[in-house]
């Protein structure tokens, strides 16, 4: 079951976030909480939610056996005076990490960020988190998507 392409994509994205993205965040001149996965709470780390939203094939993609997966990563960032900067920094770190590994170590043919959304709390200083959502298009062609 772990050979399913969907599971491989999610695993590769998690590795990208906890590997290269954390490395880039650690090199910053100012403190940015690192990305972790698990049962963490507080402001020392950020725990993003990775969701594989859909998989589509256009008529052309059916001919070349290309699947287009759409994935989102949602970061919930506690409100502080520099939260907006943190949102932009996470987005930039993920983008830079993808430039260095645009195939998720060979699992995909191409990964691109198709959207960035920054949502601030409806009411300031009320204890709600900011939400930053990155949307990706991941294409997998030919024999790569055969389990």
* Overall domain count for the chain: 1
C-alpha distances out from residue 83 to 32, 56, 62, 130, 131, Å: 10, 35, 43, 7, 10
CATH number of the domain at 40, please: 3.30.70.1700
Residues 84-138: tens digit of each pLDDT? 999 999 999 999 999 999 999 999 999 999 999 999 888 777 768 899 999 999 9
- State how far the Cα of 111 lies from the Cα of 62, in Å rounded to an integer: 19
Q: What is the domain extent for residue 41? A: 5-145
Kindly report the pTM of this predicted structure.
Answer: 0.87
Residue 144: φ, ψ to 5°: -60, -30
Residues 44-62: tens digit of each pLDDT? 889 999 999 998 877 665 6
């Amino acid at each position: 079951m772990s050979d399913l392409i969907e599971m491989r994509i999610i695993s590769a994205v998690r590795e990208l976030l906890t590997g290269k993205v954390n490395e880039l965040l650690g090199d910053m001149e100012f403190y940015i909480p690192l990305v972790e996965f698990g049962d963490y709470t507080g402001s020392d780390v950020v725990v993003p939610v990775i969701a594989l939203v859909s998989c589509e094939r256009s008529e052309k993609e059916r001919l070349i056996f290309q699947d287009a997966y759409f994935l989102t990563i949602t970061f919930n960032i506690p409100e502080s005076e520099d939260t907006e900067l943190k949102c932009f920094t996470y987005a930039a770190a993920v983008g830079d990490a993808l430039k260095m590994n645009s195939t998720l170590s060979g699992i995909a043919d191409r990964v691109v960020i198709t959207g960035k959304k920054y949502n601030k709390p409806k009411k300031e200083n009320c204890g709600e988190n900011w939400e930053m959502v990155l949307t990706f298009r991941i294409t997998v062609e030919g024999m790569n998507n055969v389990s």
